[in-house]
């Protein structure tokens, strides 16, 4: 079953790779005057890419009845938030431990994933920050729509939820094959994002969690400033960022547990 799971994962990631390659070739021919350094180009490219990819997948797999927030039966908003925060806190805690060990043990073979040891000025916001955040969101939507929504819809009649989660995880890991840590990181993240979607049945929660994971360093900048008034964090930036996000998600998870226990599901 594991071999078959990895095989299906490889096929699904290859389809994603192939489609993006064809799309980029066509786009580069049509818009040959744009340069990769132009953030307006990146924003436009990401928007068209996400939109056209989603439309193509809808046409190819004939997926119907897309629902992002609509509740059905016992699909309560509170329980969905609880699930999202539960798996979010697990992800951030895992990566806090991983990066803490990597940094403290001086594992040089993971250098491509470690920020420079030079001081990071957390007040130095680039003027393109908002555009970058939007670009990231558009790409997150595309990846979630493919690796969670589409894969689940295509495979749900043939495989169990556990196998689907693994296929989604391995596929997600394969397309992030920059180095060993990238593959491991993306696979772990992909698994919990898949479980989040399978538990909530709503794509919006995996999209939100994925987006927070991708931009958590930017989100926690004001919080990090409280920890380091000198604005010099260096290598501590990574695992401190993960620690803060773990704390936030875990607190929200506990609060939703308390509220759910106290008032029950009838009000949600």
**pLDDT of 99:** 81
**Over its length of 268 residues, how does the chain's per-residue pLDDT go in tens digits?**
778 888 888 888 888 888 888 877 777 777 666 665 666 777 777 788 888 778 777 777 766 555 554 545 545 778 889 999 999 999 999 988 888 887 777 665 545 444 444 444 445 555 667 777 888 898 899 999 999 988 888 888 888 889 999 999 999 999 887 778 788 889 999 999 999 999 988 899 999 999 999 888 777 777 776 766 555 555 567 778 888 899 999 999 999 888 877 766 544 4
Eight-state DSSP code of residue 7: H
Please list, residue by residue across 75-101, b when 16 or more beta carbons sit within 10 angstroms of its beta carbon and e when fewer do.
Answer: ebebbbbbbbbbbbbbbbbbbbebbbe
Q: How far is the C-alpha of 216 from the C-alpha of 223, rounded, in Å?
A: 11
**pLDDT of 233:** 57
Quote the Cα angle for 13-111-18, to 5°. Answer: 15
Q: What residue has token string 């290859």? A: 14
Please list, residue by residue across 250-265, b when 16 or more beta carbons sit within 10 angstroms of its beta carbon and e when fewer do.
Answer: bebbeebeeebeeeee
Write out 23-84 in H/E/C secondary structure. Answer: HHHHHHHHCCCCCCCCHHHHHHHHHHHHHHHHHHHHHHHCCCCCCCCCCCCCCCHHHHHHHH
* Three-state DSSP state, 220: coil
User: pTM of the full predicted structure?
Assistant: 0.82
At 213, phi and psi to the nearest 5? -60, -40
Which token pair is 200? Answer: 């909530």
Which token pair is 128? Answer: 């393109």
**pLDDT of 122:** 46
Q: How far is the C-alpha of 171 from the C-alpha of 150, rounded, in Å?
A: 12
Instruction: State the virtual CA torsion across 78, 83, 85, 91 in degrees, nearest 10.
Output: -170
Q: How far, rounded to the nearest angstrom, does the alpha carbon of residue 53 sit from its chain's CA centroid?
A: 18
């Amino acid at each position: 079953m594991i071999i078959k799971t990895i095989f299906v994962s490889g096929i699904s990631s290859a389809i994603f790779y192939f489609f993006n390659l064809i799309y980029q070739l066509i786009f580069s021919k049509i818009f040959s005057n744009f340069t990769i350094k132009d953030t307006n180009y990146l924003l436009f490219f990401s928007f068209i890419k996400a939109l056209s990819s989603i439309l193509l997948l809808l046409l190819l797999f004939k997926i119907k009845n897309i629902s992002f927030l609509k509740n059905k039966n016992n699909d309560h908003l509170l329980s969905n938030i609880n699930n999202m925060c539960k798996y979010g806190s697990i992800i951030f805690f895992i990566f806090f431990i991983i990066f803490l060990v990597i940094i403290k043990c001086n594992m040089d073979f993971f250098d491509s994933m470690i920020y420079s040891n030079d001081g990071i000025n957390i007040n130095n916001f680039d003027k393109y920050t908002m555009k970058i955040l939007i670009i990231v969101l558009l790409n997150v939507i595309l990846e979630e729509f493919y690796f969670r929504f589409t894969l689940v819809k295509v495979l749900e009649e043939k495989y169990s939820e556990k196998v689907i989660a693994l296929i989604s995880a391995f596929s997600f890991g394969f397309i992030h094959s920059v180095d060993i840590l990238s593959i491991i990181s993306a696979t772990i993240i992909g698994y919990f994002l898949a479980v989040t979607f399978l538990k909530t049945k709503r794509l919006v929660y995996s999209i939100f969690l994925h987006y927070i994971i991708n931009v958590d360093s930017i989100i926690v900048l004001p919080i990090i400033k409280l920890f380091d008034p000198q604005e010099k964090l260096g290598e501590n930036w990574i695992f401190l960022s993960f620690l803060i996000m773990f704390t936030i998600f875990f607190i929200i998870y506990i609060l939703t547990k308390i509220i759910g226990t106290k008032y029950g599901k009838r009000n949600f």
